[in-house]
Copies of this chain bind each other. A is one copy, B any other.
Amino acid sequence: MYANKRVFWRQNKAKLFLLIVGFVSFNLCLHAQSDEQVSEHKGTERVSLTQYVNPFIGTSNFGATHPGAQYPHGMASVVPFNVAFGKEEGNIFEKDESWHSRPYVHENTFLTGFSHVNLSGVGCPELGALLLMPTSGELELDPQKYGSTYTKEVASPGYYSSHLNKYNIRTEVTSTPRSGISRYHFPAGKNHIIFNLGLSLSNETGAMVKRVSDTEIEGFRTIGTFCYRPEDIRPVYFVAQVSQSPSASGVYKKMPEYKNVEAEWVKFNNSYKTYDNYFQAMAGDDVGAYFTFQHEQATSIEVKVGISYVSIENARANLEAEQPKFNFDRTLEQSTAAWNKLLSRVKVKGTVLNKRLFYTALYHMLIHPNLLQDVNGEYPIMGSHRIGNTQGKDRYTTFSLWDTNRNVHPFLSLVYPELQSAMVNSMVDMAKESGWMPKWELLSMETDVMVGDPAAIVIADTYLKGITDFDVMSAYSYLKKGSDTSQNNPLRPESVDYNSLAYVPIDDEGSWDGSVSTSLEYYLADFAISQLANALGKPDDSKRYYQKSLGYKHLLDPETGMLRPKFRSGEWFTPYNPELGRNFEPAPGYVEGNAWNYRFYVPHDVPGLIEALGGSDIFLAELQRCFETNNYDMANEPDITYPFLFNYVEGSAWKSQKKVKQLINKYYADKPSGLPGNDDAGTMSAWLAFSMLGLYPVTPASTEYAIVTPQFEHIEISLSDKYYEGNTLVIESSSQQKDEPFIESVHLNSTKIDSFFVDHTQLVKGGTLRFQLQSTPNTSVTEH
Contacts and interface: CB of A to CB of B under 8 A. Distances in A.
Contact of A258 (B96, B267, B284): B96
Interface in A255-292: 255-256, 258-262, 265-268, 273, 275, 278-287
Contact of A279 (B261, B283, B385): B385
A99 B266 contact: no
Interface stretch (A202-210, A480-488, A739-747): A202-210
| A contact patch SS | loop
A780 interface: no
Interface string A30-46: 00000000000000000
A10 B262 CA distance: 40
A312 to B, nearest CB: 10
Given A256-B285, A279-B385, A265 B205 contact: no
Contacts of A256: 205, 285
A640 to B, nearest CB: 27
Contact of A259 (B96, B253, B259, B285): B96
A234 to B, nearest CB: 7
A363 to B, nearest CB: 31
Contact of A280 (B98, B234, B268, B284): B234
Nearest to A266: B228
A286 B273 CA distance: 17
Nearest to A197: B283
Contacts of A440: none
Contacts of A222: 280, 282-284
A270 B713 CA distance: 59
B96 A278 contact: no
A210 to B, nearest CB: 10
Contacts of A275: 233
A220 interface: yes
Contacts of A205: 253, 255-256, 284
Given A233-B275, A261-B98, A261-B99, A283 B206 contact: yes
Nearest to A100: B262
A589 to B, nearest CB: 23
A607 interface: no
B230 A267 contact: yes
Interface residues of A, number: 42
A235 interface: yes
Contacts of A283: 206-208, 220, 222, 283-284, 287
Given A220-B283, A284-B285, A385-B280, A268 B206 contact: no
Contacts of A96: 258-260, 262
A230 B278 CA distance: 13
A97 interface: yes
A208 B278 contact: no
Interface string A404-441: 00000000000000000000000000000000000000
A253 B279 CA distance: 25
Contacts of A203: 258, 262, 266
A261 B97 contact: yes
A260 B97 contact: yes
B267 A228 contact: yes
Contact of A281 (B225, B230, B235, B265): B235
A287 B206 contact: yes
Contacts of A261: 97-99
A208 B206 CA distance: 9
Copies of this chain in its oligomeric complex:
2
Contacts of A286: 285
B284 A284 contact: yes
B253 A206 contact: yes
Interface in A531-566: none
Nearest to A260: B97
A281 B97 contact: no
A235 B283 CA distance: 10
A285 B253 CA distance: 10
Interface in A196-224: 203, 205-208, 220, 222
A264 to B, nearest CB: 9
Contacts of A255: 205
Contacts of A235: 280-281
Most chain B CB atoms below 10 A, which of A235, A262, A267, A273:
A262
A281 B233 CA distance: 11
A728 to B, nearest CB: 48
A275 B206 CA distance: 13
Nearest to A234: B280
A208 B281 contact: yes
A233 B256 CA distance: 16
A256 B256 CA distance: 11
A606 B459 CA distance: 95
A256 to B, nearest CB: 6
A220 B284 CA distance: 11
Nearest to A94: B260
A230 B268 contact: yes
Nearest to A386: B279
Given A222-B283, A230-B268, A283-B208, A385 B253 contact: no
Given A96-B262, A255-B205, A285 B285 contact: yes
A265 B385 contact: no
A280 B208 CA distance: 12
Contacts of A260: 96-98
Interface string A231-244: 00111000000000
A583 B261 CA distance: 18
Contacts of A279: 385
A68 B255 CA distance: 29
A102 to B, nearest CB: 15
B385 A282 contact: no
Contact of A206 (B98, B267, B282): B282
Given A228-B265, A230-B268, A385-B278, A284 B206 contact: yes
A233 B278 contact: yes
Interface string A246-260: 000000010110111
Contacts of A282: 206, 222
Interface string A282-319: 11111100000000000000000000000000000000
Contacts of A97: 260-262
Contacts of A225: 266
A99 B284 contact: no
A271 to B, nearest CB: 11
Contacts of A98: 260-261
The 3 closest A-B pairs by CB, nearest first: A206-B284, A283-B283, A279-B385
Interface of A: 96-99, 203, 205-208, 220, 222, 225, 228, 230, 233-235, 253, 255-256, 258-262, 265-268, 273, 275, 278-287, 385
29 contacts: A96-B258, A96-B259, A96-B260, A96-B262, A97-B260, A97-B261, A99-B261, A99-B265, A205-B284, A206-B253, A206-B282, A206-B284, A206-B287, A207-B283, A208-B281, A208-B283, A220-B281, A220-B283, A222-B283, A228-B262, A228-B266, A230-B267, A233-B278, A235-B280, A235-B281, A279-B385, A283-B283, A284-B285, A285-B286
